[in-house]
Amino acid sequence: MWQGFLQIILTLVLVVIITPILGNYMACVFLGKSTFLDRLLKPVESRLYPLFGLRMLEATNSNGLQYVKDVIVSNLVMGVLVYVILMTQGFLPLNLTNLSAPTWHLALHTTISFLTNTDQQHYSGETTFTYSSQVLALGFLMFTSAGTGLAVAIAFIRGLTGQRLGSFYVDLTLSITRILLPISIVGAIVLMISGVPETLSPPVTVTTLEGANQVIAIGPVAHFEIIKQLGENGGGFFGINSAHPYENPNAFSNLVAMIAMMSIPTSLIYTYGIFANNKRQAWLIFWMVFVIFAVLIGVSAIGEYQGNSLVNNLLGEQQPNLEGKEIRFGWAQTALWAVMTTATMCGAVNGMHDSLMPPGGFSTLFNLFLQIVWGGQGTGTAYLFIYLILTVFVTGLMVGRTPEFLGRKIEKPEIILASVILLVHPIAILIPSAITLAFPETLAGISNPNFHGISQVIYEYASAAANNGSGFEGLGDNTLWWNLSASFSLLMGRYVPIIALLLLADNMSRKQPVPETTGTLRTDTFLFTGITGGIILILGALTFLPVLVLGPIAEGFALG
């Protein structure tokens, strides 16, 4: 027992150590300060910018509408390109297993899913897509979608701190060349050393001990795996994702994947502190989120360690829940990964979430509902500051102080945009879930009855709307209804909040700073941070409490 919890603690300690190091580096990149990669990459970037029609003197002059336009147009072009590749994969090179094109609606869902940094998979990777599709289409979007989220977060932070939003194309380029690509190169080499394959060779046919033939899929996995984790993508090269021994062969590769998964979302909070020149507030926010995160890990880990009471009664002793888990990871690393992957909106899995005990199901769903523990690539940090803005507004009204954040007044337009950001999430989850559950025999594809079946459906839409991608697998989701309805949640959960975030940041950047007085509500105190945590939990609980009660909470009482 204690060995498992010690593994969890040591992993979290490494995350805390990395946070200020990477956070400071990202701040230097986006503030235009010198870094150790300047000599190598500045010539490359100077040749890339003219492709976007940019000159560096214009790089800081975009407003909110221009930034939104650049995000939407670039993503639309990339989406069309990837959809064409998927639908023509049968004619492209590196089709070593003679795979044909998927159905149009599966290709559409897959394109939207990877475009939105969700990577929700209604297919099995090694039997559906060729090497060309995996590398040229899906691998390409893993970098650009993660870069898009990171760029939006930086633009949002600039706006909050009174700066112009900057250029999307410059931010996207820097996100990839200075952060995602360098770390991915090093990470891919480390994963290859740990046993992850990186090859364009065809699948291997071997003879088993029984004399039968077995086809073992391989491929260019290592570089795919590291950007999957680092970019909060989550889409696996193989159908069973990071539970597959070629994606995640041992405890060392498991640790590397988890550190990569956590590094950017946690460090972005520190990056904000440097932009705002207020590291105290950044650390207070970090520890607020960390406490919620640690509690959810504890709840999940204890639930998996205690196991299934029905099984324990049959055995006459307590046994951890090992259903749906790889023995090489065990209950502790699987529980930690499950909470991490839903907290960071990565979505990769090293065990089957459908087999989690009710406390684990509760924690993973709760993360998907809140989206700020630690949140998606870039956008999670932005959502976190939306809660801070709401807290400033609410507490300011309650105590009669002017609602201000970073010296700028919070007024009606900002509250409207903040409300849109928070309300679109339940709309994208609850409405399609209600329709699906109304027709359980024809639409839902539920494989488990009763309360767990409700969790399966809710989880799939929550995962899509939160741009997470994991699932309570067992759900029959490769159908016309699931592919199209999940695509609706994917698009709603990604682009509506991004547009509102950029417009809100643009509004804040245009406001004249107000001098601090005795009536100003300070946001870098323990009290304010505690109130923010309370508002986050109250809003999350009130919005989604009914589905949590009908799903994992009811299932827990039924088992108990």
Q: Among 138, 258, 268, which Cα is nearest to 191's?
A: 258
Tell me the mean pLDDT in the region 428-457. Answer: 89
Tell me the mean pLDDT in the region 451-471. Answer: 93
C-beta of residue 481 within 8 angstroms of C-beta of residue 131? no
Tokens of 177: 């060349």
Residue 213: left (phi > 0), alpha (psi -120 to 50), or beta? beta
State the number of CA atoms in the 13 A half-sphere of 498 facing the CB: 32
Listed in sequence order, the residues at least 6 apart from 131 whose beta carbon sits closer than 8 Å to its beta carbon are 94, 95, 96, 200, 219, 220
Q: Is the pLDDT score of 478 beyond 50?
A: yes
User: Domain limits of the chain?
Assistant: 2-559
Q: Cα 79 to the chain's mean position, in Å?
A: 19
| C-alpha span between 351 and 339 (Å, rounded) | 12
SS3 303: helix
The model's confidence at residue 191, banded by pLDDT at 50, 70 and 90, is very high
In the chain, what percentage of residues exceed pLDDT 90? 71
Instruction: Tell me which amino acid residue 488 is.
Output: F
Q: Is the pLDDT score of 19 beyond 60?
A: yes
Burial of 106-137, coded b for 16+ CB within 10 Å and e otherwise, reads bbbbbbbbbbbbbbbbbbebbebbbbbbbbbb
State the number of CA atoms in the 13 A half-sphere of 161 facing the CB: 19
pLDDT at 57: 41
| C-alpha span between 466 and 474 (Å, rounded) | 20
| C-alpha span between 254 and 464 (Å, rounded) | 25
Name the more confident of 293 and 52. 293
Residues 254-284: tens digit of each pLDDT: 999 999 999 999 999 999 999 999 999 999 9
| Beta strands in 148-243, from DSSP E residues, in sequence order | 204-207, 213-216
H/E element holding 526? Answer: helix 526-548
The model's confidence at residue 345, banded by pLDDT at 50, 70 and 90, is very high
Residues 202-235: tens digit of each pLDDT: 899 888 888 888 888 899 999 999 999 999 999 9
| C-alpha span between 546 and 540 (Å, rounded) | 11
In Å, the largest CA–CA distance within the chain is 82
pLDDT at 52: 67
